[in-house]
Structure 1
């Protein structure tokens, strides 16, 4: 299970260190793609295959289903780590997530998320302010 948050810097060649704890769980190759809320999603191969099966079952006749699948797959990239534990983030993904030098790498159960640090801070503050209401709405029982 991927969990926790870490801050690392994106270098001039768009390489980002992924924490060793996450590298072990992602495996030698994983898929990085556009995520929701303006971040990137990184999936271990097994999780990507499970998601692929779900997406393949969406009805081709539904416009929203076609749009979602196109948007997700068109930017998807097979990734691997270099010897320093860095991943090279493709330019379209950097642009989509507005990644600057400071990035946050977040573990979210079956995937990792990569956020621009300032955008993560803003998102996290907004969510924290409504955390109780969100839990109530989702009927989360701790």
Structure 2
């Protein structure tokens, strides 16, 4: 399980250091793809495989299902760490997520989210947590 929040930078060549606490859990090969809300997601191989299987079960007759699957799979790329613990983030993914320099890597259970620092601040102000918790409780999710 991935947890924690780390600030890093992405260099001009698109290389990003993965925090050492995340590296062991990721393993040697993993997948980087688009995430929801304008971030990127990094999945360990086993988590990506499970996600792929769920996507494969979606009905091809549904336009939304095809679009949803395409969103994640067409942007996916296999990754491995270099000797400095970095990955190369392709230009298309950097552009999608608005990654220029300052980056937040946030653990989110089975994946790592990669955010531009500005988008992280815009999407994660946590001021409405009581309302969010109430909305989740209304659909049967409680803690």
TM-score by length of 2: 0.95
SS in 2 for 1:54: helix
The corresponding residue for 2:136 is: 138
Q: How many residues align?
A: 140
Root-mean-square deviation (CA, aligned residues, Å) is: 0.9
- Which whole-Å deviations, capped at 9, do the CAs of 1:53-107 have from their partners, x for residues lacking one? 1000000000111111112111100001011111100111000001110000000
Whole-angstrom distance in 1 between the partners of 2:94 and 2:73: 16
Question: 2:93 matched to which residue of 1?
Answer: 93
Whole-Å separation in 1 of the counterparts to 2:19 and 2:97: 19
Partner of 1:20: 20
Where is the strand percentage greater, Structure 1 or Structure 2? 1
Q: What corresponds to 2:68 in structure 1? A: 68
The reply to whether residue 109 of structure 1 matches residue 109 of structure 2 is: yes
Q: CA separation in 2, counterparts of 1:138 and 1:87?
A: 35
Instruction: Give unpaired runs (5+ residues) of structure 2.
Output: none
Query: Contact 2:31 / 2:45 at 8 angstroms: preserved in 1?
Result: yes
Distance 1:121 1:71 in 2: 24
> What is the TM-score normalised by the length of structure 1?
0.96
In 2, distance between residues paired with 1:95 and 1:33? 12
- Find the aligned partners of 1:112 and 1:95 in 2 and give their Cα distance: 18
